Amino acid sequence: MIGATGIVGGYIVEHLVRAGEHPLALSRRQRQSNDVDWLQGDLTRPAELNIPEAQTLYCTVEVGVLADALSRIASPSLKRVVAFTSTSIVTKINSEIPSERELLQRLADGERRLGAVCEQLGIEWTILRPTVIYAEGRDGNVSRLARLIQRFGFLPLMGSGAGLRQPVHAEDLAIGAIAAAGSPAAANRTYALPGGEVLSYREMVGRIFDALGKPRRIVSAPPVLWRLAFTLAKPFFPHANVAMGNRMAKDMTFDASTAMRDFGWKPRGFEPSFDGKL
């Protein structure tokens, strides 16, 4: 498991342990656990790694880094690689923000290179593209909105916030990844993994208010006022940008039917709970 300390990777490890597995996990820092074999190392320096035999490799770090390292770390027994990227490759690849374009083009290139390397090595691959990932108190999407609401008691939206979303819980992604790894139908395929419910950006925010036990104080603001509110919120979103406002009106939904068919994808609806988690 590469990326085991992240929110999705952590759930993958947890569910593997529950299933009676004893996973191997790579970490830059030294770690110890009775149920997990931790290997200290850095994927960007693959020549220094000595990874034991494994049949399945899960990866939640940047896919291009894995593509560059795989030929050095893959064992003869490795049969399947399951890697995560993002549906943003589809929705934001032409973003007006240069840093976003660069990142997403890098991800798209990483996907292509991973497939090519796997083909050369005779390893099956599955690429999973989640939408808005959340894990109460731990993610940079829903939980950051929740912290803003807690602090200010309201949340501004640019316009009506009518754009559709499908937030997906990190634990569901872990369950899906394990199911995909065991599915012959998922070999050498890429899947969108949206959440189990389609709702507007405004309703998604409303559900966050509900989960915090607060009245829904959602302020629809024109672009000028929204940009001012964004400036006030910037400390909570250090990597955010003003393009977020424009996207509140844009639908970002995906068809999960192939994932449902090929490995039983069945995520939960959006009902977050923040009890003691913020």
Q: What is the pLDDT of residues 222-247, one digit of tens each?
A: 877 767 766 766 676 666 666 777 78
How confident is the model at residue 7, as a pLDDT? 97
Nearest in space to 218 (alpha carbons), one of 202, 230, 204:
202
Q: Does the structure show a pLDDT above 80 at 159?
A: yes
Weakest-pLDDT range from 43-47, 79-83, 126-130, 199-203:
43-47
State the pLDDT at residue 238: 62
pLDDT of residue 239: 61
- Per-residue pLDDT band for 131 (boundaries 50, 70, 90) equals very high
How high is the pLDDT of residue 121? Answer: 97
Percent of the chain with pLDDT over 70: 95
Strand order in the sheet with 80-84: 56-59, 80-84, 124-130, 189-193
Question: Which pTM does this prediction carry?
Answer: 0.93
- Judge whether 243 and 96 are in contact, CB under 8 Å: yes
Digit-coded pLDDT (tens) for 85-101: 999 999 887 777 788 88
Q: Tell me the CB-side half-sphere exposure of residue 91, using CA atoms within 13 A.
A: 23
Of residues 30 and 11, the one with the higher pLDDT is 11
pLDDT at 245: 72
Half-sphere exposure of 146 (CA within 13 A, CB side): 23
Contacts of 128 (CB under 8 A, 6+ apart): 82, 83, 84, 85, 173, 176, 177, 180, 190, 191, 193
Task: Quote the mean pLDDT of the chain.
Answer: 92
